[in-house]
Amino acid sequence: MITLSVIKADTGGFVGHSAVHPRLTAEARREIERAKSSGLLVDGHVESCGDDISLIMTHTYGPEAGLIHSFAWDTFQATTHIAKDLGLYGAGQDLLSDAFSGNLRGMGPGYAEMEFEERPSEPVLCFLADKTEPGAWNLPLYKMFADPSNTAGLVIDEKMHAGFAFEVYDLCEDRRIVFDCPAELYDMLMYIGAPARYVVHGVRSKTLGTTAAATSTQRLSLIAGRYVGKDDPVMIVRCQSGLPAVGEALEPFAFAYSVAGCMRGSHHAPIMPVPVGQAHPSRFDGPPRVVALGFQIKDGRLVGPRDMFDDPAFDGARRQATEVMDYLRRHGPFEPHRLPLEDLEYTTMASLTRRLSHRWTPITTEVATPAGLR
């Protein structure tokens, strides 16, 4: 069995929240090489999307392994030290604890992991996103694994025809449920259509009995009790031979669908599929970006990556994202560009509510006059 882990963190932005400084990625690559030499990792790759560093690693310790999570934590501590030396913005902002405590659950860094038996050919896509939240994967996962208009294999591939099981997390109540699709598809859509709360954590093939997709579901604001940046999720999708073809897994991103995030994590904006070299959101901290790295895994080795969105076939989605961003920006501080109030809990809304509470009166009474107008 091989385990694929993608662990990410924002340990300092260059400039502002737009990118990762080359010295941070260089340090992370040095740590990966040391871990390979010591035998901790079978293989590893470092990539960035926006201001987040992602460690893409193969090993034999299984998901939630303390050794692997500790290595990632130490690596992010090292990059944080460099970020502070360079004066980078928000140095170490995703590291919400002073010390490692067994695994990364609740400590800030996001991670997606899966363990599987390698097939003779094992194509895998690693998706990295910036300036958005874990629910950003709900729509594409539905399209990949449950929508025959997107994935022809659901109709014509015998191994896919029985459907997939979706594990969904309720991030507010800390609970989960598994939906059997297509039988419970409409039930599931009622929940995952609200991606701020309900998030697809994983997908399994009912025919093959194996994991097909895994996502990061960490919500930094729910962990910290305050706004500390968006969660910038990652996702792993296995492809081919009874699972969606690579082209079917990429197809949902030909549409610049709306996600929550962007400036101060408080706005709706279109997600833009881009090659790695363009994964640096700057305009109003957006549009949110997603990159797709393709690997063939052989004996645990990461053969690749291929930059899957470095393809003119996605130019239409990029143009669409730019046009939709123009449209939404013209709303300024109004919905639907700004998130609804219930999603602004960790902004000024809480203190504003307390400060103005005494001035709100029943409509049938006299309005309380502001002090400056008396």
User: Any known ligand binding at 264?
Assistant: yes
User: Any known ligand binding at 10?
Assistant: yes
User: Any known ligand binding at 241?
Assistant: yes
Among 61, 180, 227, 257, the one annotated catalytic: 227
User: Any known ligand binding at 240?
Assistant: yes
Residues 146, 154: contact at Cβ < 8 Å?
yes
3-class SS string, 257-297: CEEEECHHHCEEEECEECCHHHCCCCECCECCEEEEEEEEE
Find out whether the peptide bond into 312 is cis, omega within 30 degrees of 0: no
User: Any known ligand binding at 52?
Assistant: yes
206 part of the active site: no
CA dihedral angle for residue 357, residue 196, residue 126, residue 209, rounded to 10 degrees? 150
User: Any known ligand binding at 89?
Assistant: yes
Strands 272-273 and 289-298: parallel
Tokens representing 91 are 């140095």
User: Any known ligand binding at 51?
Assistant: yes
299 part of the active site: no
User: Any known ligand binding at 282?
Assistant: no
Among 8, 10, 94, 143, the one annotated catalytic: 10
User: Any known ligand binding at 43?
Assistant: no
Pairs from 341-346 (Cβ < 8 Å, separation ≥ 24): 343/196, 343/260, 343/266, 344/266, 345/221, 346/221, 346/225, 346/226, 346/227
CA 320 to chain centroid, in Å, comes to: 21
Among 143, 169, 198, 230, the one annotated catalytic: 230
User: Any known ligand binding at 191?
Assistant: no
Give the Cα separation of 266 and 132 in Å (integer). Answer: 10
User: Any known ligand binding at 142?
Assistant: no
User: Any known ligand binding at 346?
Assistant: yes
User: Any known ligand binding at 230?
Assistant: yes
Say how many residues make up the chain.
374
Specify binding-site residues for Mg(2+). 10, 17, 51-52, 93, 130, 230-232
Query: Per the annotation, where are the binding residues for beta-D-fructose 1,6-bisphosphate?
Result: 17, 89, 102-103, 131, 240-241, 264, 285, 346
User: What residues form the annotated binding site for dihydroxyacetone phosphate?
Assistant: 17, 131, 264, 285
Which residues fall in the annotated binding site?
Answer: 10, 17, 51-52, 89, 93, 102-103, 130-131, 230-232, 240-241, 264, 285, 346
Return the active site residues: 10, 227, 230
